[in-house]
Amino acid sequence: MAMEATHVLFAKNLKPRLNVQNEPAFFAGSIYPDSRYLTGLPRQKTHGLKRLQNPFSLDLSDFEKGWATHILYDQISGTYLREIISGNPDTSNQALITMTAMKLLEDQASYKKIIDPNIIFQTMEIPKCPCKESKEKLEMYYHLNEQLYYTSPNIEAYQYFFEKLMPSKTYVDQVIDEANQISKNSRLKLEVLQIYNQVINNPLLI
């Protein structure tokens, strides 16, 4: 469970172990699953395919390897996100909002760790509708990511991005407000920013 700069950072860290030949396709795969927010595909369709649960599988294309890194990061990081939320009962009634806000803050930190992130997002090889989704909506998703990550994104940039992907402005406003609140809580923010290192050091990756 993460946003796209975090997924690119994770894919970039795993890339030396995956024998990647086509980087634009690989990185495009790393953010592809979340296109479902715009294309309307069910989550199971983009995150639940059994053959894409392991990026180290030998029979995957470079795009599929990137796709699989996305699924793997979501799988591992989700455990840590839920642990943080369970330790903060005041936010338990709005768990989804809180998790999205945490992912936003994690993403801001991830962007700063990537060398030339804007180039990675600008040169992604847009896939040809792997799940038979709308070509126009899929292209729009990649273009929105290009815009968001052209420079280090601030809260307002994420708000614009969310409003394009999610139908409820009320929900987006709540996420942005929650992100601002978490930013003021140094202990909680530190827990969020430690998630990436916890994932990288997870036994599944050793």
Per-residue pLDDT tens digits for 158-206: 999 999 998 899 999 999 999 999 999 999 999 999 999 999 999 989 7
Instruction: Supply the mean pLDDT for the chain.
Output: 95
Each residue of 13-48: pLDDT tens digit?
Answer: 999 999 999 999 999 999 999 999 999 999 999 999
pLDDT band at residue 86 under the 50/70/90 scheme: confident
| 105 pLDDT more than 90 | yes
* Cβ atoms of 3 and 106 closer than 8 Å: yes
Q: Does the pLDDT of residue 95 top 50, yes or no?
A: yes
- Please list the alpha-helical segments (H only) found in the chain: 4-14, 23-31, 36-39, 43-47, 62-86, 95-111, 117-122, 135-148, 155-165, 169-183, 186-193, 195-200
Nearest to 140 by CA among 25, 43, 40, 38: 38
For the entire predicted model, the pTM comes to: 0.96
